[in-house]
Structure 1
Amino acid sequence: MSSPHSHTAEEIQAWLTGHLAEILGVKAAEIDIRAPLDSYGLDSAQGMLLAAKAGKFLGFQLSPLLLWHYPTIESLSQRLAEESQASDSEVFEI
């Protein structure tokens, strides 16, 4: 059993940018990490999808509410990196 990998803010930022671009059908280069996510027209269903995919990527479940508390990719990725590092010892692989 391998230990869970904690991700840096940069890794999470790159992942979020890529997946947001995929969901919205735009190029990753068009995503501004400092722009509010809702400025891209992200609806609640897309937000839940992004949160679910991010949870799988990170190895822990995250609430879609985080997207509203941390409304930019930059702030969200920093928060998720903290959570990723803090939860390393709490995550169990099945």
Structure 2
Amino acid sequence: MKKYTVEEISNWIVRKLSVKLNLPTSAIRLDKDILDYGLDSMEALGMVGEIEALIGVEIPATSVWDYPTISQLAQFIHDEAPVI
């Protein structure tokens, strides 16, 4: 399993939001609350599941609420992911 950089994780989240919300990636800011883009609770939980699959580590379901911006969430994910 690869150890992703904070930038790679941020870019992955931006791409996911872009596709899910039909927005250009340039419209998504790293310092804006993810939920401010209009994700509902189920979509946010789905994103947590996709992140877990990406990094191979279970993270709290509340991660999107505990680390509300893309920058904060990416840093948390980076810190939680194992080095392999």
Q: Same fold (TM over 0.5)?
A: yes
Residue equivalent to 2:47: 50
| Superimposed CA distance per residue, residues 69-92 of structure 1 (whole angstroms, 9 cap, x where no aligned partner) | 1000000001111111xx336xxx
Residue equivalent to 2:8: 11
Q: Is the 8 A contact 1:33 1:73 kept in 2?
A: yes
Q: Is the 8 A contact 1:12 1:77 kept in 2?
A: yes
Q: Which has the larger radius of gyration?
A: 1
For residue 34 of structure 1, report the CA deviation from its aligned partner. 0.3
Matched length: 84
The SS at the match of 1:6 is: coil
Matched, 1:21 2:25: no
Q: Given the two structures, how large is their TM-score scaled by the length of structure 1?
A: 0.82
Q: Given the two structures, how large is their TM-score scaled by the length of structure 2?
A: 0.91
What percent of counterpart residues are identical?
26
Residue segments in structure 2 that go unaligned for 5+ positions in a row: none
| Superimposed CA distance per residue, residues 34-56 of structure 1 (whole angstroms, 9 cap, x where no aligned partner) | 00112111110110111111111
Residue segments in structure 1 that go unaligned for 5+ positions in a row: 90-94
In 2, the alpha carbon distance for the partners of 1:20 and 1:36 equals 12
For residue 25 of structure 1, report the CA deviation from its aligned partner. 1.5
| Superimposed CA distance per residue, residues 8-53 of structure 1 (whole angstroms, 9 cap, x where no aligned partner) | 1001000011001111111111101100112111110110111111
The SS at the match of 1:26 is: coil
